[in-house]
Amino acid sequence: MFTLDDISLRLGGHLILDHASASLPPKARVGLVGRNGAGKSSLLKLIAGQHEPDTGRIEAPSAMRIGYLAQEAPSGKATPFETVLAAAAERAALMDEAEHAVDPHRIAEIHERLTAIDAHGAPARAARILAGLGFSEEAQHQPLDTFSGGWRMRVALAGLLFSEPDLLLLDEPSNHLDLEAALWLESFLKSYRASLIVVSHERDLLNNVVDTILHVERGKTTLYAGNYDQFERQRRERLAQAEASRASQDARRKKLQAYVDRWRYKAHSARQAQSRLKALQKMEPVAEAAEDPSLVFDFPSPKELKPPLLVLEDVAVGYAPDTPVLSGLDLRIDPDDRIAFVGRNGNGKTTLARLLAGQLAPMGGKVAASGKLTVGYFAQHQIEELVAEDTPLQHMERLLPDAKQGVVRAHLGRFGFSGDKAMVQVKKLSGGERARLSLALITRDAPHILILDEPTNHLDVDAREALVQALAAFGGAVVVVSHDRHLLGLIADRLLLVADGTAREFDGSIEDYRDQVLSAGSGKGGNGADPSQKISRKDKRKAAADARERAKELRKTATSAEAEMKTLWRKRDEIDALLTAPDAAAGELMKRRGAVER
């Protein structure tokens, strides 16, 4: 049993955790969730021993080995393979001792223990973990200093997984991973034999890996049995009950107050008024559900253009002359397209995105675009390029110098920057808020194509869901690169596999691609197609046209379903408004609300 007992923590004068408690059973598989800034990472560091609680204590079995991913990426001349092998400290120490030991009994003990921990199978296991995280056999034996920070963080993650601690602590482990490595990690964690606590905003990982959710909110922790979808349903029901209780209490409070105000100074009824006043004072208020402006995304739909919006024919693109990163590119984008780029990091997904955004010129081939086409391109570096001292309003005014302030503020309001929030300096905004501001800036002209390169990295689960809904309602084309399988599964109806120096349509769903990635090793390099089977450009275009035709009926069904959802949301809002009335029939209204929710 692992127990958090009445834990409080202050950092920088702010109360992060407020008498939080939870008991986790052995072999627990816990998803630690909560809004950005709720204290998830701080709680993880408490468990890892990097913070000391102000009050309370953490109780764990004395021999428990806790593994936590350090924030510093490893570096130096050692290779990823050597670094991962060294992460198993006991094995490394025993192997070193075995080389120098002379006592026959001690030598026997060493070899018995090495056999027990499968020390001789360790190199193969280390290589498998590194391969799963995207390292080729050649890359596994190159010095760490030749890799970027993101790839060195993958080495740190590989070392932690290899060491197999009794309690594995992971804080956003997929942040430095591409979709393929994230899929492998999810599969690895599903079969992990010891306890784990993972902070993640990846809905699919939380649904497929964990069996318990620990929710952090307003300094408190609440334990829920089940995966993330089950937690969300339980919490929604609990919030609905709390809201009904709050509305009922408000009505009762108003009645008591009205009685006290009327009769407290009348001699014949002063005693009854005083008793009601005491009841009023003892009434503990039910907390109101917090409204969160970080869930606001509303992309302006563009003016209609006839298809196609953009066509590539046998295009090559790259950075150095005569050295294309990608070639033989054939792609057509129509106004209703939803396309996801998949493929390992380094294969050219961002290069292709920049070509479509007009940031890279083609080296060869033909690019045909509609004359009035506008493109909005979101890349992670844009968040870092925001001016720290300026406000969202100042950023938007620079890009829309001729627009009236009402128009500028209205567009910012689409992304949650209404009123005073538009006047807050960027340096005081959270990572998720900066991502929303960047999205607001790139959509100021209502682009016909939205190109989003890893848009969810700074967003929590709820904000990602809001982004999915906004993209579904967007009236233009969407091209997305993301390791969030939940987002891709709901948004993308076309997958473009970027591999082997080109990009080709992947015939299947994101789940089909997942299955292929996890069963890679069939001799075709995991690309989803045999390169020896050449398909003519004419056949490709015909196949794409047929696919678009098949999708039309599905789009009509989806549009109808979205319209019905809007109607139901409106009904739910009407019921919520009725619940606040003093004489509301709360029981009947909650039944109606439950029916609408279902």
Number of H-type helices and E-type strands within the chain: 20, 18
Amino acid at 286: V
Question: Cis (ω within 30 of 0) for the bond into 308?
Answer: yes
Contact 83, 140 (CB under 8 A): no
Rounded-to-integer distance, Cα 102 and Cα 110, Å: 11
Looking at beta carbons, which pairs linking 515-522 to residues 24 or more positions away fall under 8 Å? 517/179, 517/180, 517/183, 517/184, 518/183, 518/184, 518/187
- Quick: pLDDT tens for 305-320: 999 999 999 999 999 9
Q: Are 458 and 303 in contact (CB under 8 A)?
A: no
- Residue 440 and residue 217: Cα distance in Å, rounded? 28
Strand 167-171 to 212-217 pairing: unpaired
Whether 378 contacts 442, CB under 8 Å? yes
pLDDT for the residue 128: 93
Q: What is the pTM of this model?
A: 0.75
Report residue 381 as tokens.
């570096």
Helix (H, G, I), strand (E, B) or coil at 345: coil
Q: What is the pLDDT of residue 100?
A: 84
Pairing of the two strands 195-199 and 167-171:
parallel
pLDDT in tens, the chain (598 residues): 789 999 999 988 889 999 999 999 888 999 999 988 889 999 999 999 999 999 999 998 888 889 998 667 888 899 999 999 988 888 888 888 888 888 888 888 888 888 888 888 889 999 999 999 999 999 999 999 999 888 999 999 999 999 999 999 999 998 889 999 999 999 999 999 899 999 999 999 999 999 999 999 989 999 999 999 999 888 888 777 767 766 766 776 777 677 667 666 665 555 666 665 666 566 555 444 445 555 778 999 999 999 999 999 999 999 998 899 999 999 999 998 999 999 998 899 999 999 999 999 999 999 999 889 999 999 978 888 999 999 999 999 999 999 999 999 999 999 989 889 999 999 998 888 899 999 999 999 999 999 999 999 888 888 888 898 888 889 899 999 999 998 998 888 899 999 999 999 998 889 889 988 888 743 333 344 433 344 565 665 666 667 666 776 777 788 788 878 888 988 888 888 888 777 778 788 888 888 888 8
Cβ partners under 8 Å of residue 263, min gap 6: 269, 270, 272, 273
503: part of which helix (H) or strand (E)?
Answer: strand 502-506
The answer to whether 295 touches 317, Cβ cutoff 8 Å, is no
**The tokens of 185 are what?**
């990690």
